[in-house]
Amino acid sequence: MTTANTPPPATAGTSHDGAPLGVAMIGYAFMGKAHSNGWRNVASYFDVPAFEQKVLVGRGAAAVSEAAAKYGWKETATDWRTVLERDDIHIVDICAPGWMHAEIAIAALEAGKHVLLEKPLANTLAEAEEITAAARAARAKGVQSMVGFNYRRVPALALARELINEGRIGNVRQVRAAYLQDWLADASAPMTWRLRKESAGSGALGDIASHAIDQVLFLLGDQVTEVSGRTHTFVNRRPGAEGLEDVTVDDAAWATLTLASGAIASVEASRVATGRANSLQLEVYGDKGAIRLDLENLNELNFLDATAPAREQGFRRILVTEPDHPYMGAWWPQGHIIGWEHTFTHQIRDFLLAIDGGTQPSPSFEDGLEVQRILAAVEESAAAKSALIQLAAAPTEGA
């Protein structure tokens, strides 16, 4: 409780001096562009606390200045540490590569900044645990944090979760999640930091299987208890700046997950699935119905009601564009579709409202840590040649 003589808590929607919240973003490439789009547009469609896109941070002064001009940032910097020292910065959005996540996120939280951190939480389980511990300590001081699993903000997937929670498909028995891309299908595709373990942590596993695993947890509200996994690298060497270089991460990964409820989930991820540009397919099968969705048609949810008479059964297409569908009331008249980029606008909206209300944003760093535990178990199982890895119960908050 606050009184007239007590300053507002750190979670208030504006800074202590009443000015808009100052936002700094670290990283300006693919994810930096996507996050910037969310920051630039969110206040035009949703009622959110006042904020300013203060600083964009990157290593190259010229390149970051060019990006800032395009994406709507007022200033630029090349040293993120000096930005954390500024009193006019209240939120730090981290879009840097995974190997930088732990150092930046922990420093930002200890500096009292609210943190939005792009998935996966870190490159290793140990780093993810350190980041989560820092987030828990900061939360006790009113500093909020959230991991950026943006697909939770696809309206059709949010609707699927509502239908599952309402019992519309009954007890869930099976889940199939397949995230397939083909940008590495060509063996001559060049080397990149995403193909080096020291910078990326893992390949398709951490990059896109993390999304698929998070969706299993998000849709079911369940916990994974056992993991069996396999990873594979189809192209072991790729052309780099000085000739062929070794690829030290996986091209594809497979996992079977046992959940506490008894449901079984299969997860597949690949960056060499020829013909699949960016396809996240999700299927959830219960004893009273089923749901399926493909990200390449992200405005559509297919729903089957198995309690209907047999002659009426079959998947029906729900066009998720109605005003009472999740997030859609802020956008266009019904029937007018939205796209992938809107998920980042929804993400920023939810993050700002959580900060304003002093509530824990979702997904939390604890949620990100749970995904990291599963990713680590998949790698452990793969290294042990199909061994079954049992996961201990996730620690409760404060443990």
The answer to whether residue 12 is domain-embedded is no
CA–CA separation, 31 and 118 (whole Å): 8
- 162 in the same domain as 146: no
Q: Which helix (H) or strand (E) holds 317?
A: strand 316-319
Residue whose entry in the numeric block shows the structure tokens 């596993």 = 205
Tokens of 183: 């940008």
CATH number at residue 108: 3.40.50.720
CA–CA separation, 23 and 336 (whole Å): 31
Predicted confidence band at 13 (pLDDT cuts at 50, 70, 90)? very low
Mean pLDDT of 177-205: 96
Which of 123, 150, 177 is the endpoint of a domain? 150
The answer to whether residue 102 is domain-embedded is yes
- 374 in the same domain as 237: yes
- 202 in the same domain as 106: no
**Residues 155/318, Cβ–Cβ less than 8 Å:** no
CA–CA separation, 182 and 251 (whole Å): 10
CA–CA separation, 256 and 277 (whole Å): 24
Q: What is the pLDDT of residues 211-238, one digit of tens each?
A: 999 999 999 999 999 999 999 999 999 9
Which residues sit opposite 282 in a β-bridge? 177, 293
- The pLDDT, as a whole number, for residue 16 is 54
**Residues 146/361, Cβ–Cβ less than 8 Å:** yes
Closest CA to 382 of 231, 251, 267, 233: 231
Domain residue limits at 180: 155-297+299-336+364-383
- 130 in the same domain as 172: no
What is the count of structural domains for the chain?
A: 2
Single-letter code of the amino acid located at 247: V
Cis peptide bond upstream of 155, omega within 30: no
**Residues 172/285, Cβ–Cβ less than 8 Å:** yes
**Residues 214/222, Cβ–Cβ less than 8 Å:** no
The answer to whether residue 167 is domain-embedded is yes
Which of 133, 150, 167 is the endpoint of a domain? 150
CA–CA separation, 259 and 87 (whole Å): 45
**Residues 113/15, Cβ–Cβ less than 8 Å:** no
Closest CA to 289 of 319, 315, 323: 315
- 324 in the same domain as 308: yes
- The pLDDT, as a whole number, for residue 394 is 72
Q: What is the pLDDT of residues 72-120, one digit of tens each?
A: 999 999 999 999 999 999 999 999 999 999 999 999 999 999 999 999 9
- The pLDDT, as a whole number, for residue 6 is 29
**The model's pTM:** 0.92
Residue 337 has pLDDT above 60, yes or no: yes
The answer to whether residue 352 is domain-embedded is no
CATH number at residue 221: 3.30.360.10
Q: Is 147 helix (H, G, I), strand (E, B) or coil?
A: strand
